[in-house]
Amino acid sequence: MTSVALTIAGSDSGGGAGIQADLKTFQELGVFGTSVLTAITAQNTLGVHAVQSVDVAMVTAQIQAVLNDFPVKAIKTGMLFSSEIIEAVANELKAYSAIPLVIDPVMIAKGGASLLQNEAVIALRSHLLPVATLITPNIPEAEVLTGQRILTERDMKLTANRLLSMGASAVLLKGGHREDVPYAEDLFMSTSGEHFLMRSKRIATQHTHGTGCTFAAAATAELAKGRSLEESVVTAKNFIQLAIEDGIELGNGQGPTNHAAFRKRNQLKTGEVKLIERR
Ligand SMILES: Nc1ncnc2c1ncn2[C@@H]1O[C@H](COP(=O)(O)OP(=O)(O)OP(=O)(O)O)[C@@H](O)[C@H]1O
Ligand SMILES: Cc1ncc(CO)c(N)n1
């Protein structure tokens, strides 16, 4: 049977992030993608030029339309924009707690534009973090969620632990923003005690628009296929590594990654991503 995943996120007219990145990633990983739009952004590789949120009632109607009809096996949230939308999403998903839920706590686009209203951080923390099967913050997002500064690997571990104590079942803290190390290293930690770092070569490129969305969407697709959390994040890391490595130079700014790279190579490049400190 075809595996189905749902993304609840914002539209990126530039196609590299948001709903568009999620649907492309689902498709590349062999999963049927459904979507609920929370906001529309007028966006390209140079930045976010305008944002308009979707009415809360319309967000709710989309979620009901999808979940009442499709056998959704994993759900991902991305840009949620306001506390009203966060509350509505949390409320609608209450009846579906058996479906794995990946929360990508999108706050700020790479160019600096805000994709989440300041006061909505509280709603994210209180309504979605506690029901997350996996939360995938980047370093600045994890700092906002916990109030802890992250400068070192030790800080990453302390912060991931803090996010678990705030209610998430597992945390994947992305290290893309750490410029003090020559590699791109993400930390996985779960309440079951599992813990490892995923290290890959840091690629020298400015074309990293949508890396976070793509990573979380790949993990969601794998969960929809019934893979374990650990397998899903490892595949997602391989997927994003190849997508960045095979970047397609489009636009005049921070370009998108190549969502087709993983399938094109048709295999995991073993050795590309190292798992370290596995416990
Ligand atoms: N230059 C790079 N080379 C290799 N991997 C990278 C690079 N930059 C980011 N990554 C990887 O991409 C994934 C996404 O991390 P990142 O911290 O960039 O997310 P993000 O800031 O949420 O992205 P965005 O906001 O653009 O969606 C992580 O697995 C990270 O290790
Ligand atoms: C719509 C949207 N969602 C998420 C991001 C974060 O990459 C973005 N730039 N745009």
What percent of the chain is predicted at pLDDT more than 70?
97
79 lines ligand 2 (CB under 6 A): yes
pLDDT tens profile 71-127: 999 999 999 999 999 999 999 999 999 999 999 999 998 888 899 999 999 999 999
Which sign, positive or negative, has the C-alpha torsion 127, 133, 138, 143?
A: positive
Please list, in sequence order, all residues whose beta carbon lies within 8 angstroms of the beta carbon of residue 91, skipping any fewer than 6 positions away.
none
Q: Is the pLDDT of residue 48 over 70?
A: yes
Strand partners, 6: 34, 75
The H or E element that residue 223 is part of is helix 211-224
Catalytic residues: 174, 208, 210-213
10 lines ligand 2 (CB under 6 A): yes
Tokens of 162: 């803090």
d(CA 25, CA 259): 6
- Which pLDDT band, with edges at 50, 70 and 90, does 275 fall under? confident
d(CA 192, CA 184): 25
CB 45 within 8 A of CB 253: yes
109 lines ligand 2 (CB under 6 A): yes
**Looking at residue 268, what is its pLDDT?**
56
What pTM did the predictor assign? 0.96
d(CA 212, CA 137): 8
Alpha carbon of 194 to ligand 2 centroid (Å):
29
Question: Helix or strand or coil: residue 107?
Answer: coil
Q: How many CA atoms lie within 13 A of 125 on its CB side?
A: 16
d(CA 210, CA 76): 15
Question: Nearest C-alpha to atom 7 of ligand 2 is from which residue?
Answer: 210
The H or E element that residue 90 is part of is helix 83-93
pLDDT tens profile 183-241: 999 999 999 988 999 999 999 999 999 999 999 999 999 999 999 999 999 999 999 99
CB 138 within 8 A of CB 171: no
For residues 140-166, average pLDDT: 95
- The bound ligand whose nearest atom lies closest to the alpha carbon of 140 is 1
Instruction: Give the residue from 193, 93, 105 showing the smallest Cα distance to 146.
Output: 105
Tokens 């049977």 identify what position?
Answer: 1
CATH architecture, domain defined by 4-276: 3-Layer(aba) Sandwich (3.40)
Question: What is the ipTM, given to two decimal places?
Answer: 0.98
214-35-101 Cα angle (round to 5): 65
Q: Is the pLDDT of residue 269 over 80?
A: no
**Looking at residue 191, what is its pLDDT?**
96
